[in-house]
Amino acid sequence: MNGIHDLGGMHGMGPIDPPRDEPRFHHEWERRTFPLFASLFVGGHFNVDEFRHAIERMGPAHYLEGSYYEHWLHAFETLLTEKGMITAAELSGEATPTQPSTPPPVLTVDMVEPVVLGGASARAKEDVPGRFHAGDTVRAKNLNPVTHTRLPRYARGKVGTVEMVHGAFATPDTMAHGQGEQPQQVYAVRFTAKELWGVNRPDTVCIDLWDSYLEAA
């Protein structure tokens, strides 16, 4: 979707102003929000693409004003409600919580280390051949789905060169909408500053793009 999250190339967002040092979490509520992601992911309540899409569906003004962990909190509330694991009335304390009919898996203390060190790779178990090779010239398609995609707007219609072939990965466009992994090759495609922004600089941007986002050019 052409959402507010798709920030690459926008103007007017202000200076970076990086602090020299900062705490891991700026508020206690951020500390408590952070571990809910891994816990709920292991519980099978959502995948990472559904999670990202829930954040992308935030109101644009709220997205820009809200902090990173507020985005997370919004996604947890949204997805757990949409999937029927909690209700708004339960969350507000107006209804007595009911137990899930089928208890889902729960991340316990003994699982934390293996989960953290093991992760959950989106790489496909079996490779899927792709259409392109390193050095090929490709064009990012001018796609504008209203659904989730990882093709940034600033790359659409632009011509670049395949810099790296990464292997086959689950497709976020289907993963975010209950349509399965449908793995495809992913490529790092290198675009010149001239192609992206019309300026003569030696600089480039490499963007990781799925096979179906691309056509030969």
Partner 1 sequence: MSSHSDHDHDHTEPPDAIALRVKALESLLTEKGLIDPAALDALIDTYEHKIGPRNGAQVVAKAWSDPAYKARLLSDATHAIAELGFSGVQGEDMVVVENTAQVHNVTVCTLCSCYPWPTLGLPPVWYKSAPYRSRIVIDPRGVLAEFGLSIPDDREVRVWDSSAELRYLVLPERPADTEDWSEAQLADLVTRDSMIGTGLARQPAAV
Residues of this chain, 90-119, that bind partner 1 according to CB under 8 A? 90-93, 97-100, 103-104, 106-109, 111-113, 115-119
Binding of residue 46 to partner 1 (CB under 8 A): no
Contact between 131 and 138 under an 8 Å Cβ cutoff? The reply is: no
DSSP state of 22: -
One of 2, 89, 147, 157 touching partner 1 (CB under 8 A): 89
- State the minimum distance, in angstroms, from the CB of residue 178 to partner 1: 19
Contact between 180 and 145 under an 8 Å Cβ cutoff? The reply is: no
Binding of residue 27 to partner 1 (CB under 8 A): yes
Count the residues of the shown chain that bind partner 1, applying the rule CB under 8 A: 103
Give me 82's structure tokens: 């949409």
Tell me, residue by residue from 124 to 143, as one string, x for binding to partner 1 by CB under 8 A and - for no binding: --------------------
One of 207, 211, 212, 214 touching partner 1 (CB under 8 A): 207
Burial 170-181 (b: 16+ CB within 10 A, else e): bbbbbbbeeeeb
Give me 25's structure tokens: 């979490």
Closer to partner 1 by Cβ: residue 17 or 129: 17
Residue 69 vs residues 31, 163, 191: alpha-carbon distances, Å? 9, 34, 32
Nearest to 55 by CA among 10, 1, 94: 1
Contact between 26 and 173 under an 8 Å Cβ cutoff? The reply is: no
Give me 8's structure tokens: 């690459």
Contact between 79 and 177 under an 8 Å Cβ cutoff? The reply is: no
Q: What is the CA radius of gyration of the chain?
A: 20
Closer to partner 1 by Cβ: residue 52 or 162: 52
Residues of this chain, 171-200, that bind partner 1 according to CB under 8 A? 186, 188, 190, 196-197
One of 50, 132, 162, 169 touching partner 1 (CB under 8 A): 169
One of 46, 50, 78, 212 touching partner 1 (CB under 8 A): 78
Give me 63's structure tokens: 């997205």
One of 2, 60, 65, 134 touching partner 1 (CB under 8 A): 65
Binding of residue 165 to partner 1 (CB under 8 A): no
One of 16, 84, 102, 146 touching partner 1 (CB under 8 A): 16
- State the minimum distance, in angstroms, from the CB of residue 179 to partner 1: 17
